[in-house]
Amino acid sequence: MFIHCELLIAILVLTLDGPVHAGEIINGHEAVPHSRPYMVLLYMYKEHGKLTHCGGFLLNEDFVMTAAHCQAKSYEVSLGVHDVHNSNGNQRISVAQTFPHKDFNAIDFSNDIMLLKLSSKAKFTKNVKPITLADKDDVSLPKSCLVSGWGRTETQNICSRLMEVDVTLIDDKQCAENNCYCSLGGIGPGNGDSGGPLVCDDEKAYGVVSTMMKPDSARSFYTFIQIPYYRSWINSTMTNALKSSDVTIN
């Protein structure tokens, strides 16, 4: 993302098969069960049957949002999850179509945002509900935010229960120029938490968990794709996808 920066930058991808073992939500705590009903556990089926996961979040009965670098041959979303070992009340739905941003760059991870159209509609319950997105007019830097996910632990490929942690965003010119929010490393998402939402004090999703940046050996930054910047793309992509699916051939 900081492709114009002269510093040598390492981009650490927060998916399970990324180059860094970053642990679960770092310095976080277990979420109150089902207090984040928009959270999605995204199962990613790759070559040779390899299974990994990312986070995501429910936008409406048809669409989930995640990070564009969460690439796979096929997907399945799990809704209503808190403890991955307890499937009671969970909804498992396959993904019919994927819509990564057309300008996603797998080298610098710019435009790291993707929409997933579900093969069948999600059923809203007390444990499954969509989240409101920050609007394109929400341009001021949010003050109090939170990230959550099932990122892996030191002993497990997936944290068994949903974890969360508060993060403080920094006012950084380079982050803003690259349509990102950033927070300092040490407290934030871990490996396997990509694609989850950055939820701020008005309970709207402002960002998508993307990567960890290391501009030098002494510092690290977590980056979150700015949802307000992409609202037009989000709205048009969902509208066009639904129109296309409504077309029938006689």
> Distance between CA atoms of 69 and 114, rounded to whole angstroms?
8
Structure tokens at 76: 């399945």
C-beta of residue 227 within 8 angstroms of C-beta of residue 234: yes
Q: What is the DSSP letter of 9?
A: -
Angle at 75 (CA atoms; ends 62, 242), nearest 5 degrees:
25
Angle at 57 (CA atoms; ends 106, 213), nearest 5 degrees:
35
Catalytic machinery residues = 69, 112, 194
> Distance between CA atoms of 207 and 167, rounded to whole angstroms?
12
Contacts 24+ apart (CB under 8 A), 120-124: 120/93, 121/61, 121/62, 122/58, 122/60, 122/61, 122/62, 122/79, 122/91, 122/93, 123/61, 123/91, 124/61
> Distance between CA atoms of 78 and 161, rounded to whole angstroms?
13
> Distance between CA atoms of 188 and 171, rounded to whole angstroms?
17
Residue 61 burial (CB count, 10 A): 13
